[in-house]
Amino acid sequence: MNALLPTQFSSNITSLIGGKASSPSGHQLPVFYPATGQQIATLHEADADEVDQAVKAARRAFDTTDWARLPVEKRQELLLAIQAKIIAHADELARLECLNLGVSMRELRERHVKRAAYNFRFFAEYIGQTKGDVYDQTTGYRSVVVREPVGVAALIAPWNAPTALASMKVAACIAFGNTCVLKPSEQTPLALRCFVDLLHEAGVPDGVVNIVNGRGSVTGEALVNHPGVDRISFTGGTETGRRIMSQAGLRLKPCTLELGGKSANIVFASADLDRALDAALVSIYSNNGQQCLAGSRILLEKSIADDFIGRFVERAAKIRIGDPMLDETELGPLASSGHRDRVLSFADIAVGEGAELLTGGKAASLSGDLAGGYFVEPTAVFAKSNSSRVCQDEIFGPFAAFLTFDSYEEAIGMANDTQFGLVSYLWSDHLPTVEAASRDLKSGVVWVNTTMTRELRAPFGGYKDSGVGREGGEASEQFYTEIKTVTTPTRPITVKKIGISD
Ligand code: NAD
């Protein structure tokens, strides 16, 4: 096991405040390697006092240093230096993430860490192109609308893609001149702790990015309720999002919420079916099935269903389950034993609801060190109806539910019949179908004949219970800046005189 750990690895995970690592103290939580079930580190939880110190450090960096007013060229240089630093440490970050999450090294290197580095490049380029508005229609006056950094942001991240998702929040937040306190999931603190060290090595001044580790109920709550926080950016479960928004509302703090999903992957008979099949497998089984944007409900036009499902099941059964450190592995373990048990419970729920179990539905048993890992076979069921729990609950694992439809209206009706509305996948080469469905689907993103292509310039976020607000490009600019109107006369003005009567 120790051979798997990076040389610099510290098994005591603490917080980092004002550029200084906290000393290990406070409540301790075990951190596990999901592929073996072994404890690999201990997290030392930040309590309300430590959270207070972190917010104050961020406040000081914002209010008393030149950080918020740094010239744009300097900020761009720093963001590009961070990108370079992440690329130089890509293996280390991927390995730490793998140890915490069990997603394969290959997927982590090629998707997560690459994306983390690109997030900083993207915002470096973006801030070189921002613009304001000028209004001069009021005769004799010019009003200039400018954007300014807001202050201190609380950035709260989930466990399913810690570095990829948290880096997006940090990059956007600091690109617009803010400071922040980042709170990773208590399950996956390893890579983000290293990531924050790398930011400092790249030149981020002390206090600009602070990190507090601990449970949501302790560290997260203290952060959300801290009066020194000006913005809250949260990615996680829908119920947690509800609670955070209500707490933020009491303090009138704007928040963005990126929440759960139960996305429809609709395949019409007019689609390129080979490509749709490849994509259906990737959309549900990549990231070990643990992704908000998983295509977890696969809706098939009836005429193609038997063949499509037959080929899907054959491929799913051949997915290589195993050691996430090996490049050939396609499906690693789930992130925790509790989560594995929850995902597996849906196989019983499905059967109880009258669904047909097509493949999987069991823990995958591996040998040697991996015998204690939280592996689940790639699972697929044919659901009895869209109202069943396997079609409505976010399972968040390698678990696909198939449904069939006879008409366009039935397909769109089922796709939209969910509390969620994060993304939809649409497969058809018939242009009128594509145009109509792109319009009719109720989700923040519609991916047409493609899978999970994130365009950072475009807003990302969900309809309905999948979220509030958006991230990316202009949406991030609006969230992380205050807007100010400065009105100036363009010629000498006469001001009405009062208080001059005898
Ligand atoms: P979660 O809601 O349990 O936890 C997310 C984060 O919030 C963690 O850091 C947790 O410690 C913290 N937290 C929990 N309770 C809190 C509280 N009361 N106050 C403050 N912080 C609190 O979610 P999770 O299990 O870590 O992540 C899985 C969920 O995230 C899934 O529902 C998934 O769909 C969603 N997700 C959404 C997106 C998106 O972009 N829409 C992306 C990834 C994951």
The whole-angstrom separation of Cα 166 and Cα 188 is 12
Which residue has the least CA distance to atom 14 on ligand 1? 216
Q: Ligand 1 center to residue 60 CA distance, Å?
A: 28
Average pLDDT over residues 113-120: 98
Point out which residues pair with 148 in neighbouring strands. 482
- Catalytic residue ranges: 258, 292
pLDDT tens per residue, range 91-103: 999 999 999 999 9
User: Could you write out the DSSP letters of every residue in 425-470?
Assistant: EEE-S-HHHHHHHHHH--SSEEEESSS----TTS-B--SGGGEES-
37 or 502: which leads in pLDDT: 37
Residue to substitute in 45, 47, 185 for testing ligand 1 pocket (most ligand atoms within 8 angstroms of CB) = 185
Which residue has the least CA distance to atom 8 on ligand 1? 185
Per-residue confidence (pLDDT) for residue 355, from 0 to 100: 98
What's the pTM?
A: 0.96
DSSP symbol at 363: B
Per-residue confidence (pLDDT) for residue 502, from 0 to 100: 79
Q: Ligand 1 center to residue 489 CA distance, Å?
A: 49
Sheet holding 20-21, edge to edge: 20-21, 16-17, 209-211, 179-183, 152-156, 231-235, 255-258, 467-468
The whole-angstrom separation of Cα 457 and Cα 476 is 10
What residue ranges do the domains of the chain occupy? 12-259+466-486, 264-448
Strand pairing of 481-489 and 445-448?
unpaired
Q: Ligand 1 center to residue 239 CA distance, Å?
A: 9
Question: Domain 264-448 adopts which CATH fold?
Answer: Aldehyde Dehydrogenase; Chain A, domain 2 (3.40.309)
Which residue has the least CA distance to atom 35 on ligand 1? 236
Give the number of the atom of ligand 1 that is nearest the alpha carbon of residue 422. 41
The whole-angstrom separation of Cα 205 and Cα 201 is 9
Per-residue confidence (pLDDT) for residue 3, from 0 to 100: 52
Q: Ligand 1 center to residue 395 CA distance, Å?
A: 14
Point out which residues pair with 314 in neighbouring strands. none
The dotted CATH code for 12-259+466-486 is: 3.40.605.10
Q: How confident is the model at residue 72 (pLDDT cuts 50, 70, 90)?
A: very high
Q: What percent of the chain has pLDDT over 90?
A: 96
What is the residue-averaged pLDDT of the chain?
Answer: 96
Residues within a 6 A CB radius of ligand 1: 156-160, 165, 183, 185-186, 215-217, 220-221, 224, 235-237, 240, 243-244, 258-261, 292, 394, 396, 422, 462, 467
Residues 6+ apart with CB under 8 A from 393: 262, 346
The whole-angstrom separation of Cα 62 and Cα 177 is 8
DSSP symbol at 89: T
Give the number of the atom of ligand 1 that is nearest the alpha carbon of residue 186. 11
Which residue has the least CA distance to atom 15 on ligand 1? 216
